Amino acid sequence: MIDRDVLAEIPARPLLVRGLEARFPLPPGDRAFVVAGGSVTAGDALLEHLRDRRIDEVDVHTAPDAERPIAGTRWAPPPGRRHRDHDGDGELLTPLPGRKERWRLVAGDHRDRVASPLGGEVTAVRPGAEIRIRASGPSLRGAFAAGSAARGRLELATDPFGELRPGGIDVGRAGSILVVGSRIDAEALTRARAMGVRGIVVATLPGKELRDFQASERRQHASLHPTAPFGVLVLDGAVRRSIATPVAALLERFAGTEVALLTDPPALVFDEEPVDLPAPAPDWVRVRSGVNAGLEGRVVALVGPRRFPGPVTLEAARIAVEGEPSLDVPIGDLERFA
């Protein structure tokens, strides 16, 4: 096998990341149910989300010797009816200039309780900004994601090279996070969401399908009805290729378990790390991009600068692909798995 020091020249993609910090948006008006330093388990109430955010103006009476109120703190009307100009509670946004003790308040009537899709330690709660949770389990990073964070049972819907069509999704998949192979279109994504699927893991998603799906998501969220969380995790990029076999083996190992699909950062978080995880050979590489994208094999040698079509000269590695003659590939097109 090739020397490990030589392999170090090929970019490595970590299969599993430990201690991933997940971010959940907490816009002004939303209320956190967790505190920094605390722990959370999957399914615990994380935050209360306002669906109909509005600005009210309220008098915030404070004692004469008290400090002025702080933006971002919760406010509720004092008990009793006296001097009461507002019934609901909310979050103080900004003071009204020139109006002593008069503040803008972010309030709303329709509230959704959002559950944490993962377990871990709450590292930060910033009102008006975000909640951060450090995952207790290992995670698989993706290239990008869309939709919202979700939790479900991981199921393999196709092989790593496959494509899931809308007709292949039914209510039997409700509650699951489906691994759907090389690509999926927006129609299949919206059907999956309608069938109660919680998320999709796919190798690639073309820009057109991504934009169509995001537009559909915006329409969903514009309604006043609560929507179930649904996310799409894209592992590689926009141009079609299959899921890398080491990643597919990992997903196969975790199939049937509950996982969290995160959108920020894009990742799939597993609850725990089994001892019998499949480990790829150190010299196993995948051609991630370029004309040979999708090929996998073993590194035979680094061959130094080579002239490729263009013509351009790039550092290259020679890889042996099963059943095919070995070929020289630019190192920038390769990834190995660590």
User: Which residue in the block uniquely carries the two structure tokens 């649904």?
Assistant: 230
- 28 part of the interface to other proteins, by CB under 8 A: yes
H/E/C letters for each residue in 25-68?
ECCCCCEECCCCCCEECCCCEEEEEECCCEEEEEECCCCCCCCC
Which one of 186-194, 219-227, 268-276, 284-292 is the stretch in contact with other proteins (CB under 8 A)?
284-292
Query: 223 in helix, strand or coil?
Result: coil
The DSSP output letter for 289 is S
Q: Which secondary-structure segment (H or E) carries 329? A: strand 327-330
| Segment interacting with other proteins, rule: CB under 8 A, options 125-133, 172-180, 254-262, 270-278 | 125-133
Q: 137 or 147, CB closer to other proteins?
A: 147
Point out which span in 121-129, 159-167, 221-229, 317-325 binds other proteins (CB under 8 A). Answer: 121-129
What is the longest distance spanned by two Cα atoms in the chain? Answer: 86
* Stretch of 8-16, 109-117, 162-170, 223-231 contacting other proteins, by CB under 8 A: 8-16
Between 270 and 337, CB nearer to other proteins: 337
Nearest distance, CB of residue 306 and other proteins, angstroms: 10
47 contacts 32 by C-beta, under 8 angstroms: yes
In the complex, least distance from residue 73 CB atom to other proteins, rounded to whole angstroms: 8
Q: How far is the CB of 170 from other proteins (least distance, A)?
A: 30
Which residue in 248, 289, 297, 299 binds other proteins (CB under 8 A)? Answer: 289
Token pair in block for residue 323:
């059943």
Among 44, 59, 212, 315, binds other proteins (CB under 8 A): 315
Is 110 near other proteins (CB under 8 A)? no
Q: Are 20 and 134 in contact (CB under 8 A)?
A: yes
Question: Which segments of the chain does DSSP mark as H helices, in order?
Answer: 4-7, 186-194, 207-222, 245-254
Q: Is 130 in the site for other proteins (CB under 8 A)?
A: yes
- Residues 219 to 238: which contact other proteins by CB under 8 A? 236-238
Q: Answer yes or no whether residue 72 interacts with other proteins by CB under 8 A.
A: yes
Residue 214 near residue 232, CB atoms below 8 Å = no
Interface with other proteins, residue 127, by CB under 8 A: yes
93: contact with other proteins by CB under 8 A? yes
Residue 249 is a binding residue for other proteins (CB under 8 A): no
Q: What are phi and psi of 166, to 5 degrees?
A: -55, -40
Q: Under 8 Å CB-to-CB from 257, ≥6 apart: which residues? A: 153, 154, 270, 271
Under the criterion CB under 8 A, does residue 143 sit at the interface with other proteins?
yes
Hey, what are 64's tokens?
Answer: 């004469």
Under rule CB under 8 A, residue 80 binds other proteins: no
For residue 322, state whether it binds other proteins (rule: CB under 8 A): no
What is the β-pairing status of strands 199-204 and 176-179? parallel
Q: Which stretch binds other proteins (CB under 8 A): 79-87, 97-105, 114-122, 247-255?
A: 97-105
| Of 216, 266, 259, 215, nearest in space to 237 by CA | 266
Shortest spacing between CB 242 and other proteins, in angstroms: 15
Backbone angles phi, psi at 311, to 5 degrees: -85, 140
In angstroms, the CA 140 to CA 143 distance is: 10
> Whole-number minimum distance, CB 68 to other proteins, in Å?
9
Interface contacts to other proteins, rule CB under 8 A:
5, 8-13, 23, 27-28, 53, 55, 70-72, 93-98, 104, 106, 126-130, 143-144, 206-208, 236-239, 288-291, 293, 304, 308-312, 314-315, 330-333
